Structure 1
Amino acid sequence: MDALAVDVHHYKDKELSSNLLLQLNRLRHENILTDVLLCSGDTQIPCHRNVLVSSSPYFRAMFCSNFMETQQTKVDLKGITSAILSSIIDYVYTGLISITMDIVLPLMQAASMLQYGCLFEACSSFLQKQLCPDNCLSMIRLSDIMNCHSLRDKAKEVAMKSFSDVSASEDLCELSLPELMGYLDDDSLCAEEEQVFETLVSWIHHDPLSRRGAISDLFKKVRLRFIHPTYLFQFIANDPLIQSSTLCTELIESVRRLMFSVGTKRIEDAVVDFKPIWTAAPRCTYHDTLVVVGGRKNNDQTSRDALVFDESNQTWQRLAKLPIRLYRASYVALHSVLYVIGGLTTSTKHCQVSSAVYTLSLKTNQWRTAEPMLEPHFAHQSVSYLHFIFVLGGLGLDRRLTDNVERYNSMFNQWESMAPMLEAVLHPAVVATNQRIYMFGGVDAMQNPVRLIQVYHISRNMWSTMENRTVKNMSAPAVVLDEKIYIIGGYTRRMIAYDTKANRFTKCANLKERRMHHSATVLNNKLYVTGGRSVSSHDIIEDLDTFECYDPKTDIWTSKGSLPHKLFDHGFLTLTCVSKTWEKS
C-alpha cells in the first residue's frame, strides 16, 4: 500500500468551465440568484455580480470598491443602447457574439468603456478585414478616436501600400499638414517620387489660401534624386507653386548645377537643405534588381533574351524579348531604364552595323526605340554618368577600330560628339566615377595589348593617359565598389582593385577560372559576375553559365547558382524597378 500511495492521478475536467458558464447563463435567463439589474433605457437585464466582476476590470471596480453601485440593485449604463448591452451580456455568459458593420462601432465603444479587451480587439479585427484604399484614411481617424493601435497600424499599412489609389481620394485632401508630412517622410510609402509631388500639389490646391505657405516644407519631402530630369526641370520647375517659393527654386537649381555642370559643383556647395534631400534613401517601392540581356547564347546564336533575377525564390524570370538580334551591342542603365546601343544586326541576310538605341523600362516591360547615335558602332563600350550616356570606340561603319566618342543627353534626348580617345582600343575595361571615365587596357588594331589607363575628364571634355605595367586586360568588365574600381579577369583569373586617388592597384581574390567576355555589376555593396568564356590551361575555350558573387569585406567569391543558359558578350546591369510588371506579362 505504501508503494501504491506514491502514485498521484492529476485529473482535469475539460468540460467543467464551459458547462459552468452554460449553467450560469441558464440561471440568468431564469432569474435565479441574480443580484443586479443592468439598465439601458427601458431594458433591464438581470445578471450575477460575481460573473460581471470576474469578466471585466470595469465591473470589478464598480462592485468591489466604495462606489454607490455596490449597494444598488439597479445600475444604469449610460451611453450604451439596450441592443448593444444585451449582446455584450450574452457574450460575457457564452463567449459568443456576432459582429456586423451595423453594430461594430457602438459595440467597440461599449467594449472599450466596459473594458472587454478581447471583444474590443475582435471589433478591430473585423474592421481590418474591411480595409481598402477608399476607407483606410477614415479608419486611421477612427482608430485615433477609439485609441485602437492594431486598427491604426493595419490601416496605415494599407495606406502606405496603396498610396497610388489613396492619393486620389478626397480623404487625403482632408489630412492635416503634420499628417501628410508623416506620410511623405516615410520610407515605406509605396509611390514614385513624381506621384509624391503631384499629391502634395493636389493637397495644397484643395485649400490654397491656408496651405500655400506649406509648399517648401512639403517639397523637401520629395526625393529629387529619383525623379527623371525631364520631369523635374520641365514640369516641376515650371509649376507655379514651386516658382512661388524661393527655397523650392533653390533646391531645383542645386540639382541643375549638380547635373548640368557635370560635377564641377559638389553637393556641399549647394543650399544647406539640399544635401539630406539628395542623399535620402529610396522608398520601399524602389528596389534594385539584376538584369541580363542580349549576348551570345550557347555559342550558336545572338540572344534576344532579357532576364531579371528574382531574389525571393533565387530564379531568373523572363522579360520581353529584344526586338532584334544584335551582336556585340553595348548595355547601360540610366534613370531606371535599360539601354541597348548599337551592335551588329544578325536578323537580316546581310549584317549591318547599327546606330539604333532600344530601351526597356521594368515598369512597363516594353521595348521602345530611342534617338539613334550619330554614327554606327559595335564591339564598343557604353557607360552612364548623371543624366548622360557615353559611347566609346569599338568598330565603326567600315568595321575598323574607331576612337569616336559620343554623348547622349537624356534630358534633351540628343547625341553629340565629344573629344576622341587618345588611343583607339578594343575591349577595354570601362567605368565612370568621380567626374571621370576610366578606360583600362584593351588591345589595338593589331590585337596587341595596350598597357594604358585612359582618363576622360567629363566636365572639361579632355583625355589624359597614364602608362601602367599592371594593366593588361582584354574583354574584362569593370565596376565601382567602395570607391574603388575593380577590373575582373580578362584572359586571366586575376581581379585587381584600383584606388584612383592613390593611383595604386591592390590584388583581390582570384576568379575560379580564367575568364573573358563576361559581365559584372554591383548590388548592395557586392560584386556580381555572370557568364563569359573560360580558358583552360590547354587554351581550350568553354562558354559559361555561372553566376557568382564577390564580397569585398571578406575577399571571398561564392556561387549564386547559374544562368538558364551559357552566355557571353551580354549585358549585366543593376536596374531600379518600381513594380514587378513582368510577372503579369
Structure 2
Amino acid sequence: MDRPAVEVFHYKDKEQSSNLLLQLNRLRQENVLTDVLLCSDNTEIPCHRNVLVSSSPYFRAMFCHNFIERQQTRVDLKGVTSAILSSIIDYVYTGLISISLDIVLPLMQAASMFQYGRLFEACSSFLQEQLSPDNCLSMIRLSDIMHCNSLRDKAKEMAMKSFSDVSASEDLCELSLPELMGYLEDDGLCAEEEQVFETLVAWIHHDPLSRRGSVSDLFKKVRLRYLHPTYLFQFIANDPLIQSSTLCTELIESVRRLMFSVSTKCMEGTAVNFKPLWVAPRRYTYHDTLVVVGGRKNNEQTSREALVFDERSQRWQSLSKLPVRLYKASYVALHSVLYVIGGLTTSAKRCEVSTTVYTLSLKTNQWRTAEPMLKPRFAHQSISYLHFIFVLGGLGPDRQLTDSVERYNSMFNQWESMAPMPEAVLHPAVAATNQRIYMFGGEDAMQNPVRIIQVRSCLLLLSSSVDPFTPTRSLIISPITSAPTLQVYHISRNMWSKMENRTVKNVSAPAVAMDEKIYIIGGYTRRMIAYDTKANRFIKCANLKERRMHHSATVLNNKLYVTGGRYINGHDVIEDSDTFECYDVKTDTWTSKGTLPYKLFDHGSLTLTCVSQTWAKS
C-alpha cells in the first residue's frame, strides 16, 4: 500500500524579525561584536557593519566597495551632528524615532544623505502637518532644496487653494517672475480675478524699479472677462501702474468695446492679441452653485430666507436673511451677485411698492442696497444680459399693469428707461439669448381682469383667482386665460416685435436659456416646450409630473433645475410644493434631487459663481 502523503506545515514566526532587531540593539548597547565606530563631534557610536549595510544603500556602498572606510574601524561622518547621528542609529536598530520642529530639518537632511527613504518621507509628512498659508511658499522653497516632491506637492496645493491668504504673506513678494507667472496662469488657482490683479500690483510695488517692466506680461494673466465691470473700469483702468503700460490700456479698451457692444460683430475692432485672452475659460476652482431666495414659505408669510445648495453634501445651507419681507419681488444674478429687485413690502404696519434693490454676494454673505429703480413695481420680471439687468412690466403703486421697461447698467450703476412692451402681461416666461429678450405668454389683463382685495389692512393685487395669503388645500383652480403672444426685445436696437402663437399658453411659468434654446416649464400645465430661436419653432419635451405654476428654474452645469412652486393634484386642488427636480437635456428625462427644506413658491432660483464656500465661514 502507498504511504499517505506527508502534509507540509509552513510556519512563520511573526516575532522573529522584531526580536532579532531587539537583540542586535542590545548587543550594540553592550558593545558586543560591534566592528565599526561612527564618529561625529568627538562622539563615537559603536555599530555592526552588517546592520548598517543591510539598512542603507549609503553604508552598503561605503563598506562593500573599494572605499577607504572598508578597512577602517573608525569612520568620521561630516555634515551631521552627533545628536542627529545617534537618533538615526537608534532608528536603524529599533525602527523608532521622535520628530520635532527643532530637529526635523537636520534629520531630514541626514536621512537624505544616508538614503533612509522612509525616514525622509516621515519628516516630509511631519512638515506637511505644519503647513499653513503663512509658510507654504517657504515650504515650497525648502522642498526644492531638499528635493522632496511630496512636500512640494502638498505645499503647492495649499498655496493654490488658499491663495487669497497666501497673497497677503511677505513670502509672495519674494517670488521670482516665473514663479508668480506660474501661479497666476494656473487654471487651478483658487482666487477671484480681482485678487489676481491686486497680487500682481503688490508684487511689482515691492521692487518697482526692477519689476515695473513686467506689468504687461502679468496683466495678461488676469482673466478680464470675469472681472466686475465697475472694478475693471473704475479701479484697474485708473491705476497708475496700468496707465503706464500701452498694452494694458489697449487690453482694457478692448474689453470696454466688447462689454458695451451688443451686436453680433462684437469681436471686430479688438486687439488681435487680445482674442485668446478673451476666450480664456474660468479657472476650474470656480464653481456654479444654486441659490434659492424669497418667495412664500409653507403657505404662510413672505420669506426672508436665502438658501444655497451644497453639491458635495447634497444639502441646503442658509445664507444671510433678506433685510425685509417682499411680496412678488424679482430675482436675477449678474456678475456673481444676487439682485432682489422691487416687490411689495408686507410689514404689519403698512404695504408699499418698492424701488429698492438688494444685493448679496456669496463672498461676503451680506446684503447691501444698490441704486434703486426709477419706478416702484412688483409682480414684474427681471432678466440679466451682458452687464445689464432688464426689468419688465409688473404692477405699479396704483396697482395697474404697466408696460414700462427699465435697464440697469452695472458698469455705471445707473437705471434708464427703455422702449415699452407692445402688450403688458403678468407672469410671462422670460429668457435672454443671442442679443434678444424673449417674453412668452403671461396673463392678458384685458381677458382676465385684475382684482383687488383687502388683506391685513393692505391692498394686494392678485393676477389669478387664487388668493396667495389664504391656505389653498381646499381651493379649486379656476381657468386662467393666457395671452398667446411672443414678444421679442432687440437689445441693440431698443425695439420690440410681437407675434401671435397658439403654442404659447403659459402663465406663471419660468423660462431658461440653454444652447440657443429657451425652455418654458409648466405654467398651469404639465407641458415643457423648448423654443429654438434659430429655427423659430417649438419642440415638445418630457412633461412634468403635475401641472405646475409659480415655481422657479435655473441652469446649473448644463442641466435644468426646478424648485418649489404650486401644483394641481388629481382633484384639482392647489398644493404648495417643496420639490427639487433636475431635467437632463441630453436624455430628455426628469429626476428628483430631493426636497427643499420647506414648501416654497413665487421665489427665485439662480445660479451664482463662486470660488470657495465663503458663506460657510460667515
TM over 0.5: yes
Q: 1:512 aligns with which of 545, 552, 573?
A: 545
After TM superposition, list the pairs within 5 Å mapping 1:470-509 onto structure 2: 470-509=503-542
Deviation of residue 265 (structure 1)?
4.4
Contact 2:41 2:81 in 1 (8 A): yes
Partner in structure 2 of residue 440 of structure 1: 440
Partner in structure 2 of residue 242 of structure 1: 242
Deviation of residue 263 (structure 1)?
4.2
Q: Aligned equivalents of 1:265 and 1:153: distance in 2?
A: 44
Deviation of residue 510 (structure 1)?
0.9
Alignment-mate amino acid for residue 472 of structure 1: K
Question: 1:428-487 CA deviation, whole Å, 9 max, x = no partner?
Answer: 110111211111111221234322221111121111123333222111111011221111
- 1:523 corresponds to 2:556: yes
Contact 1:49 1:63 in 2 (8 A): yes
Q: Secondary structure at the match of 2:430?
A: strand
Contact 2:190 2:612 in 1 (8 A): no
Contact 1:192 1:285 in 2 (8 A): no
Partner in structure 1 of residue 308 of structure 2: 308
- 1:200 corresponds to 2:233: no
Uncovered stretches (5+) of structure 1, i.e. residues with no partner: none
After TM superposition, list the pairs within 5 Å mapping 1:355-394 onto structure 2: 355-394=355-394
Q: Aligned equivalents of 1:108 and 1:80: distance in 2?
A: 11
After TM superposition, list the pairs within 5 Å mapping 1:152-551 onto structure 2: 152-263=152-263, 265-267=265-267, 270-283=270-283, 286-445=286-445, 446-447=447-448, 448-536=481-569, 538-551=571-584
Contact 1:520 1:529 in 2 (8 A): yes
Partner in structure 1 of residue 592 of structure 2: 559
Residues 582 and 170 of structure 1, relative CA distance in 2, 3 Å threshold: closer
Q: Secondary structure at the match of 2:222?
A: coil
Deviation of residue 196 (structure 1)?
1.1
Deviation of residue 558 (structure 1)?
0.2
Q: Aligned equivalents of 2:111 and 2:269: distance in 1?
A: 59
Q: Aligned equivalents of 1:523 and 1:181: distance in 2?
A: 31
Report the more deviating stretch, 348-357 or 406-415. Answer: 348-357
Q: Aligned equivalents of 2:127 and 2:417: distance in 1?
A: 62
Q: Secondary structure at the match of 2:379?
A: coil
Q: Aligned equivalents of 1:3 and 1:559: distance in 2?
A: 70
Percent identity of equivalent pairs: 84
Q: Secondary structure at the match of 2:316?
A: strand
Residues 208 and 8 of structure 1, relative CA distance in 2, 3 Å threshold: same
Report the more deviating stretch, 399-408 or 359-368. Answer: 359-368
Report the more deviating stretch, 353-362 or 540-549. Answer: 353-362
Deviation of residue 315 (structure 1)?
2.0
Q: Aligned equivalents of 1:138 and 1:324: distance in 2?
A: 48
Contact 1:258 1:264 in 2 (8 A): no
Report the more deviating stretch, 34-43 or 407-416. Answer: 34-43
Report the more deviating stretch, 181-190 or 348-357. Answer: 348-357
Q: Secondary structure at the match of 1:302?
A: coil
Q: Aligned equivalents of 1:129 and 1:537: distance in 2?
A: 60
Q: Aligned equivalents of 2:617 and 2:135: distance in 1?
A: 27
Q: Aligned equivalents of 2:338 and 2:604: distance in 1?
A: 10
Q: Secondary structure at the match of 1:487?
A: strand
Alignment-mate amino acid for residue 419 of structure 1: A
Q: Secondary structure at the match of 1:331?
A: strand
Partner in structure 2 of residue 570 of structure 1: 603
Q: Secondary structure at the match of 2:401?
A: coil
Partner in structure 1 of residue 473 of structure 2: none
Partner in structure 1 of residue 459 of structure 2: none
Please give the TM-score of this superposition, normalised by the length of structure 1: 0.95
| CA RMSD, Structure 1 to Structure 2 (Å) | 2.0
Deviation of residue 386 (structure 1)?
1.6
Contact 1:264 1:459 in 2 (8 A): no
Residues 101 and 268 of structure 1, relative CA distance in 2, 3 Å threshold: farther
Q: Secondary structure at the match of 2:272?
A: coil
Deviation of residue 175 (structure 1)?
0.6
Q: Aligned equivalents of 1:144 and 1:316: distance in 2?
A: 43
Report the more deviating stretch, 427-436 or 240-249. Answer: 240-249
Contact 2:330 2:381 in 1 (8 A): yes
Q: Secondary structure at the match of 2:496?
A: strand
Report the more deviating stretch, 507-516 or 38-47. Answer: 38-47
Q: Secondary structure at the match of 1:99?
A: coil
Alignment-mate amino acid for residue 481 of structure 1: M
Q: Aligned equivalents of 1:541 and 1:279: distance in 2?
A: 47
Question: 1:519-574 CA deviation, whole Å, 9 max, x = no partner?
Answer: 10000000000111112455322221111000111111000111122221111111
Q: Aligned equivalents of 2:389 and 2:27: distance in 1?
A: 84
Question: 1:214-262 CA deviation, whole Å, 9 max, x = no partner?
Answer: 1111111112232211111011011122112222112211211111123
Contact 1:484 1:498 in 2 (8 A): yes
Q: Aligned equivalents of 2:130 and 2:569: distance in 1?
A: 63
Deviation of residue 73 (structure 1)?
2.7
Q: Aligned equivalents of 1:550 and 1:263: distance in 2?
A: 32
Q: Aligned equivalents of 1:566 and 1:385: distance in 2?
A: 30
Alignment-mate amino acid for residue 195 of structure 2: Q
Alignment-mate amino acid for residue 103 of structure 1: I
Residues 497 and 269 of structure 1, relative CA distance in 2, 3 Å threshold: farther
Contact 2:576 2:599 in 1 (8 A): yes
Partner in structure 2 of residue 23 of structure 1: 23
Residues 582 and 145 of structure 1, relative CA distance in 2, 3 Å threshold: closer
Contact 1:268 1:275 in 2 (8 A): no
Aligned length: 585
Uncovered stretches (5+) of structure 2, i.e. residues with no partner: 449-480
Please give the TM-score of this superposition, normalised by the length of structure 2: 0.90
